[in-house]
Structure 1
Amino acid sequence: MKFQLAVNLERMDDSADMRAVRDHTLDMVQMAEAGGFNIVWAAEHHALEMTIAPNPFQILTWWAEHTDRIRLGTAVATAAYWHPINLAGEAAFLDLISDGRLEFGIGSGAYQREFDRMRPGLKQSDAWQYMQEMLPAVRALWQGDYAHEGDYWQFPTSTSCPKPLQSEVPVWVAARSPITYDYALREKCHVMSWPLTRPFSEAELYKKHLDEAVAKADNGFRPTFAMMRHAAVWDNEADRQKALDAIRLVLGQFENLFRNSGGVSNGFPAQIPLAELEGREQYDPVMLEENLLFGTPDVVIEKLKKYEALGVDEFIYYASMGLDLAAQKRSMKLFCDEVIPAFQ
């Protein structure tokens, strides 16, 4: 099993110094590279302090200049917010300046709140159609001259400038539903999945979707299957409690955004009061500690071996969960020093 890192520039309130957050994020990426991680992912989100990522390519270009080997991925570029020529060129330029380290993740987008601002009138549930039109266009532009007449974009003959260094850029799709797995395999894309806070049975369901899609596509393509979980490794009770408290606060903000019903002030989503979350399974501390990649190094190794046995090729360590910066680094160090060696 290989390992990937998802990390955001993240502020939970305005007491966090933006320069400290900036420096911490790069520190985490460099720790991941030194520790043997395979890929680091940057997101795309807009007007949200909990995920400061207005352009994933800009973030990855910055990281590329301070790393040598770790591959650099977009998780994900939101198709509806881009024009195909712009997206193809930005991605190819990153591949050029990083000496061929681009991993191109494309998706539909997460929050209706963002669509209301970035693409007014578009429902998040309909955004997959933009992704499915975008990907073939970007791939064609990477190859050379191409004209496009689609439902959402039209342009005369054009091409990507520059072209990617890689003859075939790895493409990733975030998938949960069977229809998305079918699309990913039909288009020969690798798959990243996120069971949120659900139990291991959810991971088993995603593997079943993947196997069925591979059989249905029957095109000889074997995707890399990656799975993401929030991760925190600890060796003392204080860090354990910090992780459990932090993840519940972050999930309260996610609940706000997914409902599209809570307030957002100056980029900070309102925290749904924990009293309203008591008794709800997805916020139960016992469940969170069991289902997420939480625990001492030995516990985390045991959990990862279950994913490895299931057929997960690469595990995505999701570091951003509102945990204080020092605790994030302690967790990452334990993971690199005591967990990764068990899989080498």
Structure 2
Amino acid sequence: MRVGYTTIFQGGGDARDDQRVYADELRLCELAEPLGFEMLWGVEHHFTSYTMCPDPVQFLSYMAGRTKNILLGSGAVILPWHDPVRVAEKVTMLDLMSGGRFIFGMGRGLGRIEFEGLRIPMDESRERFVESAEIVLRALETGVIEADGKYYRIPRRDLRPRPVKSFRDRLYAAAVSPESVRIMADVGAGILINPQKDWEEVSADMRKYREQFRELKGAEAPAPMVTGWVCCDKDPVKARDMAQEYIGGYYESVMSHYELGGRHFESTHGYEYYKRLASFIQNKGSERVVDNFIELQIYGTPEQCYERIVDIRSKVGNDGFNAVCSFSGMSYETAEANMRLFASEVMPRVKELPPVDFAELEVAAS
């Protein structure tokens, strides 16, 4: 299994602290390749300290010049927020500058504050994503970009520099809801799983995704990748306390940024799953949702962390795991110790895990 490191640049409430967050996160990112991580991932978010990386391609371009071999992944570029021409150009540029190390991850977005600030109607995200994905992916394969769609009308133009390497085997899309999973099968992307619901539910979503992928593409779907929030310590009690403080604190920031308990999902087209989640939070309270999120993540001793990853793999069949080791106000020292212990005592064993046999996975789930 491939193992990557994901940085999210999570800040606090004080804007004066943003520079320190960037300095600390970049120091951790520069440790990723020497520690043996095979991939480095950045995310895209805007306008709050939830995660402060408005341009993952720019961040990864910087890291391309600071590294030699590590793969560079966007987790994800949110297509409805961008001009497809600029996405295709930036992706091509980064891939050429990095020597073909870029993994293109894309998504359709969820935060109302971001859609409003970027002046894109949230109701249009599903259609915009599909239309933009088709334009960008076709351009990356052919070197030519053009469109005459509902949202994007682009005269035929060559991409220069030209793409020189296909993205078909390094294309992923972030998906949580069943609606998004179906869309990602339609565009032919592998799934980036950011756990927010029980792994049994995710397993069911992945079965449907593989079925639809076969139907639409006439081929087997690529194995998904899982991102997990990690709290690793040799003392199980300390690791549990870390999980409560940091993973729990992180999910509270998720609920705040995305307004997960908000009633706006009731009238927003394309976000049916989040309408149901919002109703659950309104009725049951946020504490139960936070506790559930903690239990979906990777915390404990190195052995417990390894066992959690193996259990997830047995349910969803992922061939990659991306660790988030710095978040929710961790000091640099705490984050570095967390990252180093995971890298030295968990990651080597995870890398040895063989590819999942999907036929066996389907039988086990039936």
TM > 0.5 = yes
User: Does residue 301 of structure 1 match 2:306?
Assistant: yes
Structure 2 residue identity aligned to 1:75: G
219-228 or 11-20, which deviates more: 11-20
- Residue 161 of structure 1 and its aligned partner are, at CA, apart by 2.2
The answer as to whether partners of 1:107 and 1:128 remain within 8 angstroms in 2 is no
Structure 1 residue identity aligned to 2:73: G
- 1:147 and 1:279 map into 2 onto residues whose CA distance is 45
The answer as to whether partners of 1:173 and 1:184 remain within 8 angstroms in 2 is yes
Per-residue CA shift, 1:163-188, capped at 9, x if unaligned? 23423362211123444333333432
- 1:78 and 1:200 map into 2 onto residues whose CA distance is 25
The answer as to whether partners of 2:147 and 2:155 remain within 8 angstroms in 1 is yes
Give 3-state SS (helix, strand or coil) of 1:127's partner. helix
Could you tell me which residue of structure 2 aligns to residue 113 of structure 1?
Answer: 113
- Residue 298 of structure 1 and its aligned partner are, at CA, apart by 0.7
Could you tell me which residue of structure 1 aligns to residue 102 of structure 2?
Answer: 102
- 2:81 and 2:213 map into 1 onto residues whose CA distance is 30
Per-residue CA shift, 1:44-94, capped at 9, x if unaligned? 111122311121111001111111111111111111221111111011111
171-180 or 80-89, which deviates more: 171-180
331-340 or 217-226, which deviates more: 217-226
- 2:217 and 2:92 map into 1 onto residues whose CA distance is 29
Could you tell me which residue of structure 2 aligns to residue 272 of structure 1?
Answer: none
Moved segments of 4+, more than 6 Å = none
Q: How many residues align?
A: 326
Q: TM-score, normalised by structure 2?
A: 0.81
Could you tell me which residue of structure 2 aligns to residue 131 of structure 1?
Answer: 129
RMSD over aligned CA atoms reads: 2.5
The answer as to whether partners of 2:42 and 2:74 remain within 8 angstroms in 1 is yes
Residue identity over aligned pairs, in percent, reads: 23
- 1:321 and 1:202 map into 2 onto residues whose CA distance is 26
User: Does residue 326 of structure 1 match 2:333?
Assistant: yes
Q: Which runs of 5+ in 2 are unaligned?
A: 263-283, 353-366
Could you tell me which residue of structure 2 aligns to residue 313 of structure 1?
Answer: 319
Could you tell me which residue of structure 2 aligns to residue 151 of structure 1?
Answer: 150
What are the within-5 Å matches in structure 2 for residues 1-344 of structure 1? Answer: 1-14=1-14, 17-120=17-120, 122-123=121-122, 125-142=123-140, 143-168=142-167, 170-196=170-196, 198-217=197-216, 219-236=218-235, 237-238=237-238, 240-259=240-259, 280-284=287-291, 287=292, 289-310=294-315, 311-322=317-328, 323-343=330-350, 344=352
- 2:164 and 2:16 map into 1 onto residues whose CA distance is 38
Could you tell me which residue of structure 1 aligns to residue 362 of structure 2?
Answer: none
- 1:39 and 1:112 map into 2 onto residues whose CA distance is 30
The answer as to whether partners of 1:239 and 1:327 remain within 8 angstroms in 2 is no
- Residue 306 of structure 1 and its aligned partner are, at CA, apart by 1.3
Q: TM-score, normalised by structure 1?
A: 0.86
- Residue 227 of structure 1 and its aligned partner are, at CA, apart by 1.5
- Residue 230 of structure 1 and its aligned partner are, at CA, apart by 1.4
Per-residue CA shift, 1:182-222, capped at 9, x if unaligned? 333343211111222x3332332233233323443352243
Compared with structure 1, are the counterparts of its residues 130 and 325 closer, same or farther at alpha carbon in structure 2 (3 Å cutoff)? same
- Residue 105 of structure 1 and its aligned partner are, at CA, apart by 1.1
The answer as to whether partners of 1:3 and 1:37 remain within 8 angstroms in 2 is yes
Could you tell me which residue of structure 1 aligns to residue 272 of structure 2?
Answer: none
Higher helix share: 2
Per-residue CA shift, 1:83-132, capped at 9, x if unaligned? 11111101111111111111111111120111111025x12x53021110
- 1:101 and 1:292 map into 2 onto residues whose CA distance is 28
Structure 1 residue identity aligned to 2:344: D
- 1:173 and 1:278 map into 2 onto residues whose CA distance is 30
289-298 or 204-213, which deviates more: 204-213
The answer as to whether partners of 1:231 and 1:293 remain within 8 angstroms in 2 is yes
Q: Which runs of 5+ in 1 are unaligned?
A: 263-276
The answer as to whether partners of 1:178 and 1:213 remain within 8 angstroms in 2 is no
Structure 2 residue identity aligned to 1:138: V
Could you tell me which residue of structure 2 aligns to residue 267 of structure 1?
Answer: none
Compared with structure 1, are the counterparts of its residues 46 and 56 closer, same or farther at alpha carbon in structure 2 (3 Å cutoff)? same
